[in-house]
A and B are shown apart, each in its own frame.
Chain A
């Protein structure tokens, strides 16, 4: 069974540009989470999508946005890139429903975004 897949693995942009990061959850998972992991810091929560809706948003400016598609894959868009946006962006997915199995969060390998 394929895990969470993210693309691209690396992305280099210049300040002011826009970046689009993609995530495919594990088959059968309906919830997708996005996290930012900057060097020297832990995982910072960005966005949570479930069944196509944004369920929760972290403390990030509006230029960080995203969406979830009908097939549960997701996109993270970062507009007007700033140097401090350079980080590893991680996507995680979780199964639907209640109970123990639906709480486990599984991560992809991330997209390393470098803003020059």
Chain B
């Protein structure tokens, strides 16, 4: 069933195109960031993380960019596929093992 927010900002992307999902974080002292993917009825799935001493990190088809100056994080998904449809949200931590989560963005992949 639908267990994730109904009124989230939505990004609609054509299959095969690249997706960019943005996140503004709140704490300038945060030094660790994670991106999660949550499909309907499932728990959040770890995608990729980045520490504040980096400004870019790449994974398989995903890239995370960190701009500490404006406290902004983005997740880029290359060649978006139908299976990428989900809610994506970021989390930040300031080294105290306390995590703050964003509200999320719904990604819809159009065939």
Contact = CB atoms under 8 A, between A and B. Distances in A.
By DSSP majority rule, is chain A's interface helix, strand, loop, or mixed? Answer: strand
B42 A112 contact: no
Interface stretch (B67-75, B78-86, B101-109): B101-109
A104 B104 contact: no
Given A42-B102, A104-B34, A90 B43 contact: yes
Interface residues of A, number: 29
A39 B5 CA distance: 5
Interface in A11-55: 31, 33, 35, 37, 39-43, 45, 48, 50, 55
Contact of B98 (A35, A56, A106, A110): A56
Contacts of A56: 98
A66 interface: no
A104 B89 CA distance: 15
Interface residues of B, number: 28
Nearest to A90: B43
Interface string B45-76: 11001010000000000000000000000000
23 contacts: A31-B97, A33-B99, A39-B5, A39-B6, A41-B5, A41-B103, A42-B89, A42-B102, A42-B103, A43-B44, A43-B101, A48-B98, A56-B98, A88-B3, A90-B43, A100-B51, A103-B93, A104-B34, A104-B46, A104-B49, A105-B91, A110-B42, A112-B1
